[in-house]
Amino acid sequence: MPARSEGLGCVRSSNLRVQLMYIFLSIVQDKARYTREMAGYVPPPGEGKRKQKKDPNAPKRALSAFFFFCGERRGEVKAQNPAFGLGDIAKELGKQWEKVGDKAKYEKMAAEDKKRFEREMAAYNKGECTCRVCWIGAWSRPMLLMLQRFLGGSSGGSSAKKSKVEVSDDESEEDSD
């Protein structure tokens, strides 16, 4: 009589198949139990909150006066100290910022950028996208026709090229009218 073994130890091949079948069955049952239990799971308050993803179409934040200063001086600091790393450059710029006597130039630039941000944010909140891609004035009628034909056509490469040619022919006819 063959000795019983626990787990996947040394067993005969016929017993191995049976044991693997039981292991697989237990995995499937455990997965079903887990999905059943997690279906009604509600995390406790304050737990499970994830950071909201930023909208890529949202306007970029306004820069501070220090950032305008850094943008202007970073190249000079890098040229004077080629061995400096990113952190060292930032430290040097911070030291220079402390020593700047007339920060009005940079504060004016920051105020203008803040107005820009507020203007773009107001348009964004109204649902008007101010980015160049979404701006409807960038899409002329021939371009929209080309997109409609290209997307409406079959997925074959030659028909897509053909539809582009047709659009350019239509454009020349529309221009002559």
Q: Where are the domains of the chain?
A: 65-126, 139-171
Cα angle 63, 67, 73; round to 5 = 145
pLDDT in tens, 140-163: 556 666 667 777 754 444 444 444
The SS3 call for residue 132 is coil
Q: Tell me the two tokens of residue 91.
A: 């430290």
For 71-105, the three-class secondary structure string (H helix, E strand, C coil) is: HHHHHHHHHHCCCCCHHHHHHHHHHHHHHCCCCHH
> Given this model, what pLDDT does residue 7 score?
53
What's domain 65-126's architecture? Orthogonal Bundle (1.10)
Burial of 164 (0-12, 13-18, 19+ CB in 10 A): middle
pLDDT in tens, 112-141: 999 999 998 888 888 765 555 555 554 455
How does the average pLDDT of the chain come out, rounded?
A: 76
Sign of CA dihedral 120, 125, 126, 132: positive
Higher per-residue confidence, 154 vs 40: 40
Cα angle 23, 27, 32; round to 5 = 150
Interval 91-108 mean pLDDT: 93
Task: Please state the pTM of the whole predicted model.
Answer: 0.47
